[in-house]
Amino acid sequence: MYFPVSGVEVFPLVPPLVAFLISSLTASAGVSGAFLLLPFQVSVLGFTSPAVSPTNLIYNIIAIPGGLARYIREGRMAWPLTWVVVIGTLPGVFVGAWIRIRYLPDPRAFKLFVGLVLLYLGIRLLYETTGRYLKSKEQTRSLEKKFRERVSRVKEESAGRLAAGLPPEAVVKTRSVSLRKIEYDFWGETFSFSTMAVFTLALVVGLIGGIYGIGGGAIISPFVVSVMGLPVYTVAGAALAGTFLTSIAGVTFYHVLEFTAAGASANVAPDWFLGALFGVGGFLGTYFGAYLQKYLPDRVIRGILGALVTFLAVSYVLQYFV
């Protein structure tokens, strides 16, 4: 099937299937999967124009509600974290979109940028699986211990079948919110983070996300888990919600840029049909991934993602110099 907007020709079942497989894994870590979907579009489908960035954001808009609905229903949403991420990311997304069409229209330079972003993510995720990192995170170890004990009990009660995951009491409860610090409780533990630190991080991530064509959860989620010590079980939903809202803003802004001189010459109009096909697969995948998260230890999730992302990053960076 030929997609005239993007110039891509592919069997119509391939986009949703690829999106389902990617998002099933990445949603477990609070990431929509757009950061892996873009390399697929660029390297496999040959979609290299600036329009690939907003097309990737369309995937986010359609895919994320599936997983987000489950996180909300199960009470695993850290809402104060969500809104700080959204408020910080939005301005960065707008600036990033402009940089993409103005300074990075060349596919070769764009792939180098993508490779460097992925390299950071991959190395960060792999480091988080090491014993040295785990020893430095006492609260993470405590939650992991509870997680393993819970899964063991479930296996015994269900004759080896996983009938339930995290217990009903494992919900996020906000303790305090201020411009200086936000605190919340989760499964008997209290966690906190600097409001302004997350806002600044979100601003920078929004800039990168606007260029890349991702909402930013792929960068924010690993950072707040590893550096700020927040549990991935509470960060995942907030990261997906932030990515969803900022993706809507990003697509809207790319459409506005289409009517500018720079946008008209750079081909920035998204391919809605192709993006929608990816989004349908992603919608099912993120819902399944949010369900799957309850049965996968955090270390396994990050290890799989880290290995895959690092491989992609190295290949993209090498392509620029070869």
Q: How far is CA 155 from CA 164, 262, 295, in A?
A: 9, 58, 11
Tell me the residue type at 244: F
CB-based contact 231:191 (threshold 8 Å): yes
Q: What angle do CA 309, 61, 99 make, to 5 degrees?
A: 65
Q: What is the pTM of this model?
A: 0.74
**Domain residue spans of the chain:** 13-321
Give me 35's structure tokens: 């950061």
Give the whole-angstrom CA distance, residue 51 versus residue 75: 36
CB-based contact 145:153 (threshold 8 Å): no
CB-based contact 10:45 (threshold 8 Å): yes
Tell me the residue type at 259: F
Give me 173's structure tokens: 């409860």
Could you list the pLDDT tens digit for every one of the 322 residues in the chain? 999 888 899 999 999 999 999 888 777 665 667 888 988 999 899 998 888 989 999 988 988 787 788 778 878 788 999 999 989 999 999 898 888 888 888 888 888 888 898 888 788 778 877 877 666 665 566 666 665 666 566 555 544 444 445 555 567 889 999 999 999 988 778 889 999 999 999 999 889 888 888 777 777 877 787 678 788 778 878 888 888 888 898 899 888 888 887 777 777 889 999 999 999 998 888 778 777 766 777 677 778 778 878 888 888 888 888 7
Cα separation of the two ends of the chain:
32
User: What pLDDT was estimated at residue 60?
Assistant: 85
User: What pLDDT was estimated at residue 121?
Assistant: 79
User: What pLDDT was estimated at residue 162?
Assistant: 40
What is the Cα gyration radius of the chain?
19
3-state secondary structure of 166: coil
Exposed / middle / buried, residue 304 (Cβ in 10 Å: 0-12, 13-18, 19+): middle
Nearest CA among 170, 179, 212, 202 for reference residue 55: 212
User: What single DSSP character describes residue 180?
Assistant: S
pLDDT tens-digit readout, 103-121 = 888 888 888 888 898 888 7
User: What pLDDT was estimated at residue 8?
Assistant: 93
User: What pLDDT was estimated at residue 188?
Assistant: 75
